[in-house]
Amino acid sequence: MTVPVLLAAGAVKTAVEGLLAAPDAWRGARPRVAYGTVGALRDRILAGEPCDATVLSAEAMALLVARGLIDPATVVPLGVTGVGLAAGNGVAVGPIDDEAGLVAALRAAPSIAWADPASGATAGRHFAAVLDRLGLAELVRTKSLIVPFGVEAVAACACGAVALAVSQATEIRGVPGVRLVGLLPPPHALVTA
């Protein structure tokens, strides 16, 4: 029996793992799942890596459809997520409902983890641009832990290695040891389908 291969963005890892854990959810072989950033997985498919299914951003899917690598009839929208700020349990952070609150939280944080923009991480690329627009890039980078994936940033926050983490809300919610402070506020919000 051939094992199906699923390439899935980190933003859906919690959901996929929940589906894989369901005892009666699979007939036949359970898929082998490879997680990564949207950019890295998109590039693997563009380079010809075979897979049976993929879960990526709408933007990446549109590119793969345009290149003839995915049948547009098989593309199914699953939902949306936004870039959010996580805090470790016991870490005091004020609301980030507006730019002033976000700036205050970033300035006050002793440490922040986020995904390396060069890895193709959607949240990491976006957060780097937000820091530049806010004029906080140098300050935040001096106290940052840059990791390959958003889930690693959240894990670092959950174990207390850093106070805050920036990642997709779907990578934050449900992780023991952290809480979602909130989504980045307008005009710095990013919602990804």
Q: What is the pLDDT of residue 186?
A: 95
Determine the 3-state secondary structure of 84 from DSSP.
Answer: strand
Q: In terms of Cα–Cα distance, which of 50, 25, 13 is closest to 149?
A: 13
Q: Is residue 173 exposed (0-12), middle (13-18) or buried (19+ Cβ within 10 Å)?
A: middle
Q: What is the pLDDT of residue 28?
A: 73
Phi, psi of 114 (to 5 degrees): -160, 160
Q: Find out whether 174 and 134 touch, Cβ atoms under 8 Å.
A: no
Determine the 3-state secondary structure of 178 from DSSP.
Answer: strand
Q: What is the pLDDT of residue 20?
A: 83
In the chain, what are the domains? 5-74 (3.40.190.10), 81-192 (3.40.190.10)
Q: What is the pLDDT of residue 49?
A: 94
Q: Find out whether 87 and 181 touch, Cβ atoms under 8 Å.
A: yes
Q: What is the pLDDT of residue 1?
A: 59
Q: In terms of Cα–Cα distance, which of 17, 18, 22, 10 is closest to 121?
A: 10
The overall pTM is greater than 0.85: no
In tens digits, the chain (193 residues) has pLDDT values of: 588 899 998 888 888 888 888 777 667 777 889 998 888 899 999 999 999 999 999 999 999 999 999 999 999 998 898 999 999 999 999 999 999 999 999 999 999 999 999 988 889 999 999 999 999 999 999 999 999 989 899 999 999 999 999 999 999 998 999 999 999 999 999 998 8
Dist CA 87 CA 175 (whole Å): 11
